[in-house]
Amino acid sequence: MDDGCGIFVKIITNLWRNRLYRRFFGYIVHNFKYINDFFNISTFRQGISTYQQITTKRGCSK
């Protein structure tokens, strides 16, 4: 049988986790524009790299 101490620990743990999740998601929401910009830049750079590889292969095969 639980003496109440275990319940107290569970409550404190849940409060700590919820606060941590709120901080994490608050950070994501606050910085979403920058995170999205980074994704767009990465996608754009990947496209340039792919284009350069294709044009280089065509140039070498002539």
Report how far apart, in Å, the C-alpha atoms of 2 and of each of 5, 9, 23 are: 7, 12, 32
| Residues contacting residue 28 through CB under 8 Å, at least 6 positions apart | 35
1-28 in b/e form (b: 16+ CB < 10 A) is eeeeeeeeeeeeeeeeeeeeeeeeeeee
Q: What integer pLDDT is reported at residue 60 of this predicted model?
A: 57
The structure's pTM equals 0.36
CA distance 10 to 15: 9
Q: What integer pLDDT is reported at residue 32 of this predicted model?
A: 78
Q: What integer pLDDT is reported at residue 1 of this predicted model?
A: 47
Q: For 1-41, how does the pLDDT look when each residue is reduced to its tens digit (9 = 90+)? A: 456 678 877 877 888 888 888 888 888 788 877 777 777 77
